[in-house]
Amino acid sequence: MLTESMEDYLEMIYRLLQKKGYVRAVDLAEALKVQPSSVTRMIQKLDECGFIYYEKYRNVGLTPLGEKYGKFLAWRDEMLKEFFRLLNAKTDVEEQVEGIEHYITPNTMSLIRNLVNYFNQNLDRLKEFKTIQSQGEYPDGEKLVALRAWDFKHNDLSTD
């Protein structure tokens, strides 16, 4: 079972591999803004779970399993961001995606993908949608400050 933190690492390893072709612990520490010691621990954990392996010079590589998950995690992140941007969400997209991504199921992601595809392929419908989305009752979200979402922070990757 991947923890939230493991998912973030795996996603970043996948992204860095796509971008640079190699990943070192120091690259991960920099990209995730965490201490090198946390990276070392997490790399060991992901190695034990069969998602990554060590290459020459201690570079990190993805096993087929790690590749499969990393690819999904990067896709999930991008699809959720696209979803919010497409609908002109009045929210901090990065923060909101961070609050959702680890809890949404692949099936629900498929629904979001379908919706995003539908609107991207029918831009006139998207226009129409935007004209009607302000109608209807809507709770005053800005004032519901006791909700957990307001207190949501994701700045400690080293705890689990």
The residues that touch Mn ion, with contacts defined as CB under 5 A, are: 8
Task: Compare residues 3 and 59 and give the one whose CB is closer to Mn ion.
Answer: 3
* Minimum distance, C-beta of residue 73 to Mn ion, in the bound complex (Å): 9
* Minimum distance, C-beta of residue 4 to Mn ion, in the bound complex (Å): 6
* Minimum distance, C-beta of residue 12 to Mn ion, in the bound complex (Å): 10
94 vs 87: CA distance, rounded Å = 15
Phi, psi angle pair for 106, to nearest 5°: -55, -35
Task: Compare residues 83 and 119 and give the one whose CB is closer to Mn ion.
Answer: 83
Task: Compare residues 95 and 128 and give the one whose CB is closer to Mn ion.
Answer: 95
The three-state DSSP-derived secondary structure of 71-116 is HHHHHHHHHHHHHHHHCCCCCCHHHHHHHHCCCCCHHHHHHHHHHH
Residue 94 · residue 82 · CB < 8 Å: no
155 vs 107: CA distance, rounded Å = 28
Beta bridge partners of 61: 53
* Minimum distance, C-beta of residue 69 to Mn ion, in the bound complex (Å): 13
Task: Compare residues 8 and 27 and give the one whose CB is closer to Mn ion.
Answer: 8
